[in-house]
Amino acid sequence: MAGGQFVGVLACNWAFVFATIVTIIPESETRLPRRYRGVTAIYPGSFDPITNGHLDLIQRGSRLFDRLIISVLRNEAKQPLFSAEERMEMLCEVVDEYSNIEVDSFHGLLVDHARTHSATVLLRGIRAISDYEYELQMALMNRRLNPGLETVFLLANEAYSFISSRLVKEVFSLGGNISGLVPPSVEERLKRRMSKLRKKGA
């Protein structure tokens, strides 16, 4: 599947609309077309916690864009395991080696946050076909709110296509091994947080 093309995943009446809103980049691609270079991109998410799937997209995104901002969503209504500040700390620990990556947080409309940073691209990951419907809705709405804001999808590396923050937390809370699913520093934070919660609940 080439960047900017979309074939046979959505119903035909959505395919053309979707293709005009987003660019889909295969896992093997490491550079955007020339017209997308030299821009600021935002990779938004909860990152509660960051997984190796997130980190893979971040690493690839850093090669695609001159400036990549990882933006942590502040939404306490979701009752996150880690605070926004803790999630930002975890992100800073694992992306410190990248000179073109910044870590920030936001609440409210993502398009307003993008405008604040003069960002013209939203970076999103696609793990499976089930992700498309939700992402299509978001891309359409963001395009309506800001026609100049593009959505670029990176297809997940197959090694990480099953990973989600929710699944990692669930497996870990039940005593499962999450080595290789999250960065080592994040795994240590999870151990400390779960231990604290168990003591609190005892």
Instruction: Give tens-digit pLDDT for 17-65.
Output: 444 445 555 555 555 555 456 789 999 999 999 999 999 999 999 999 9
- Best CA proximity match to 37, nearest among 61, 2, 72, 5: 61
- Give the range with max mean pLDDT: 17-21, 66-70, 73-77: 66-70
Neighbours of 30 (CB within 10 A): 10
Q: Which residues carry out catalysis?
A: 54, 78, 127, 165
Instruction: Give tens-digit pLDDT for 157-169.
Output: 999 999 999 999 9
Residues 6+ apart with CB under 8 A from 171: 177, 178, 181
Flag whether pLDDT at 11 surpasses 70.
no
Give the pLDDT of residue 202.
Answer: 52
User: pLDDT-derived band of residue 96, with 50, 70 and 90 as boundaries?
Assistant: very high
- Tell me the pTM: 0.81
Flag whether pLDDT at 66 surpasses 50.
yes
Contact 46, 74 (CB under 8 A): no
Selected residue with higher pLDDT from 13 and 107: 107
Residues 133-156 have a mean pLDDT of 94
Domains in the chain, start-ordered, CATH in brackets?
Answer: 12-162 (3.40.50.620)
Residue 51 is encoded by which pair of tokens?
């997984």
Give the pLDDT of residue 132.
Answer: 86
Residues 6+ apart with CB under 8 A from 107: 73, 74, 75
